[in-house]
Amino acid sequence: MSGKELDQTLVLIKPDALKNSLTGYVLSLLSEFHTGLRFAGTKIVHVSKMLAEEHYAEHRGKHFFPPLIEYITGLSHYPDEPIKQRVVAIVYQGIDAVPKIRAIAGPTNPLVAREQKPGCIRSLGTLFPIKDKDGQIIDQRMDNLIHASATDLEAEREIKLWFMPNDIPPYMQGYATKKSERHFYFKDGKLSEDHVPGSFCIVAPGDIVWESDLAILHAIADGTPSKGTLESVVAKYLVNQIR
C-alpha cells in the first residue's frame, strides 16, 4: 500500500447526531462508495472530561469551551441519561482522507454551512446561545453533528488520543508503534511504575503502544522533558472504565 493510501482522519459522531438518529445518514455519506475511504477503527465512547478537554485543548479559555465540553461528553443532550452519553469514534483511511471528510462535513458554523454548502452534514446543525451570569448572550455553541480532523497533523494527534494501536488492524495502523518493556500505572493524575491500590494499569510489558506515547511515558517517569501531557496518553486507556 502506498503512503497516501494510509492517510487517516478521525470522525466523531457527536451526541446531537445520535439524539436525532442521524448516525446512519452520516455513515452513508461517508461510505466507501461516496468517499473511497475505509473504516480502520471504530468504537463507542463514554467521553470523560479528561478526554474531552484533551481533544479540544486548543480551545481552552474561550467562552465556548465549558459548553463545548458539556456537549461532547453528552451532558447537554442527555443530562439525566448517562446510558446515552456517548459518541461514535471512527478512523477513516484512504487517499486524502482529511480533506475529503472535511468537505462533506462542511463549515463549522451550521448557519454558514446552510448558506455556503447546503446539504453538507453540518448544515443540519443548530446554534445554542451561551449566556453570562447576568443572562447576557456572550457567544454561541455550535452543535454541528460531527467532528472531523482538520489537518494530517491534527488527525495523528487525535487518532492517537482516542485509539490504542490494537484498536486498529495491524496493516491499517498509520503511525509507528513500539512494545513496552515497562509497567505504567495511573492514579489521581499521577504516573507510577508500581501498583498501588486503586491505580489503573495503563501499559504492561509486551503491550504495543504508539511510539510517541511511550516516549512521553518514559520522559514523565524519568523526570525528563516530555513532548506531551500525561492526560494525552492515558485518556484512551481509561475510556469506558471510569464513570
* Residues binding Mg ion (CB under 5 A): 150
Q: Which residue type does 173 have?
A: Q
> Which residue from 35, 76, 144, 173 is in contact with ligand CDP, where contact means CB under 6 A?
144
Nearer to ligand CDP (CB atom), residue 23 or residue 192: 23
Note whether 57 binds ligand CDP by CB under 6 A.
no
Q: Which residue type does 234 have?
A: V
Note whether 151 binds ligand CDP by CB under 6 A.
no
One of 55, 147, 183, 195 is an active-site residue; which one? 147
Note whether 39 binds ligand CDP by CB under 6 A.
no
CB atoms within 10 A of CB 159: 25
Note whether 55 binds ligand CDP by CB under 6 A.
no
> Which residue from 46, 77, 100, 147 is in contact with ligand CDP, where contact means CB under 6 A?
147
Is 147 noted as a catalytic residue in this protein? yes
Q: How is residue 75 written as a grid cell?
A: 451532558
Note whether 68 binds ligand CDP by CB under 6 A.
yes
d(CA 236, CA 165): 11
Comparing CA positions, the residue from 147, 166, 152 lying closest to residue 213 is: 166
Note whether 142 binds ligand CDP by CB under 6 A.
yes
Q: Name the one range near ligand CDP by CB under 6 A: 21-29, 90-98, 138-146, 159-167.
A: 138-146
Catalytic residue positions, numbered:
147
